[in-house]
């Protein structure tokens, strides 16, 4: 005999919403989808879906991202749980938000073109459905906190990058101007970058040296109690 002690309890839907950040042309971007069903059909929304019976939250977030963008194996982190009674006019729905970081230049060909999706500058995010603007705000705060304590920003850069690109990325994430000399000195003190012999010749005749992030060095420093803070 199977006992079901929960049969009298209320049932609610559990949604997953993904805040997908990218970095392109020195601007922090967010990927949004034009909703193609009611309620709020035709309005801009975060990319989302619902939890299935045989998956945990992290698996659901990875599936939603893969199904709607074609992307996989990207940095994702849970942001917050949203449970206001009237947050979804269709039905009582609790949502767990995740943010993801992708390198637009590397992944742009993987994004499924048939989906009505578009990159927006983070400063030009339109009015979104339900409480999605609040989710974006919370995700930005978490991203800024992470960027000040661990090198998550490298998920948004190409494998080889210039110091200018790195500084512009952190300025975009932190929404503030950083002194060039202080920024370079600070990053050099971390000893997390490998300077390459190659140069990026697109910005000037002299060119700018390219760097790459040394993940092995970072993990060794973390094991010793290293604090990564801009």
- Average the pLDDT over 168-183 and give the result: 94
Which residue(s) pair with 22 in the sheet?
29, 102
Judged against a pLDDT cut of 70, whether residue 1 lies above it is answered with: no
Per-residue model confidence (pLDDT) at position 217: 87
CATH tag for 13-147 (out of 3.90.79.10, 3.10.20.30, 1.10.645.10, 3.65.10.10) = 3.90.79.10
The answer to whether 127 touches 42, Cβ cutoff 8 Å, is: no
Judged against a pLDDT cut of 90, whether residue 31 lies above it is answered with: yes
- Tell how far CA 121 is from the center of its chain: 13
Alpha carbon distance 78, 97 (integer Å): 6
Judged against a pLDDT cut of 80, whether residue 228 lies above it is answered with: no
Judged against a pLDDT cut of 90, whether residue 152 lies above it is answered with: no
The answer to whether 43 touches 129, Cβ cutoff 8 Å, is: yes
Per-residue model confidence (pLDDT) at position 162: 94
Per-residue model confidence (pLDDT) at position 50: 97
Contacts of 131 (CB under 8 A, 6+ apart): 82, 84, 87, 95
- Average the pLDDT over 39-68 and give the result: 94
CATH topology of domain 158-223: Arc Repressor Mutant, subunit A (1.10.10)
pLDDT digits (tens, 9 = 90+) for 4-29: 788 888 999 999 999 999 998 889 99
Same CATH topology for 13-147 and 158-223: the answer is no
- Average the pLDDT over 170-185 and give the result: 93
Quote the DSSP letter at residue 203: S
Percent of the chain whose pLDDT exceeds 90 = 63
Q: Which two tokens stand for residue 71?
A: 């992307």
Single pTM value for the model: 0.90
pLDDT digits (tens, 9 = 90+) for 56-105: 999 999 999 988 888 888 999 999 999 999 999 999 999 999 999 998 87
Alpha carbon distance 126, 147 (integer Å): 25
- The rounded mean pLDDT for the chain is 89
What are the residue boundaries of the structural domains of the chain, listed by start?
A: 13-147, 158-223
């Amino acid at each position: 005999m199977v006992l079901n002690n929960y049969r009298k309890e209320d049932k609610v839907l559990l949604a997953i919403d993904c805040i997908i950040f990218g970095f392109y042309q020195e601007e922090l971007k967010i990927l949004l989808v034009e909703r193609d069903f009611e309620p709020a059909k035709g309005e801009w929304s975060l990319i989302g879906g619902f939890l299935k019976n045989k998956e945990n939250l992290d698996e659901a977030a990875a599936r939603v991202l893969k199904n709607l963008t074609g992307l996989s194996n990207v940095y994702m982190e849970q942001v917050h749980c949203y449970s206001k009674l009237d947050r979804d006019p269709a039905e009582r729905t609790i949502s767990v938000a995740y943010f993801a970081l992708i390198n637009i230049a590397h992944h742009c060909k993987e994004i499924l073109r048939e989906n009505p999706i578009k990159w927006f500058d983070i400063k030009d995010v339109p009015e979104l459905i339900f409480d999605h603007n609040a989710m974006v705000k919370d995700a930005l705060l978490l991203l800024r906190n992470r960027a000040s304590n661990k090198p998550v920003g490298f998920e948004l850069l190409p494998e080889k990058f210039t110091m200018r690109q790195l500084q512009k990325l952190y300025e975009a994430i932190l929404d503030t101007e950083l002194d060039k000399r202080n920024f370079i000195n600070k990053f050099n003190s971390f000893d997390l970058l490998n300077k390459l012999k190659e140069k990026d010749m697109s910005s000037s005749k002299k060119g700018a040296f390219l760097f790459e992030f040394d993940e092995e060095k970072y993990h060794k420093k973390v094991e010793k109690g290293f604090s990564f803070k801009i």
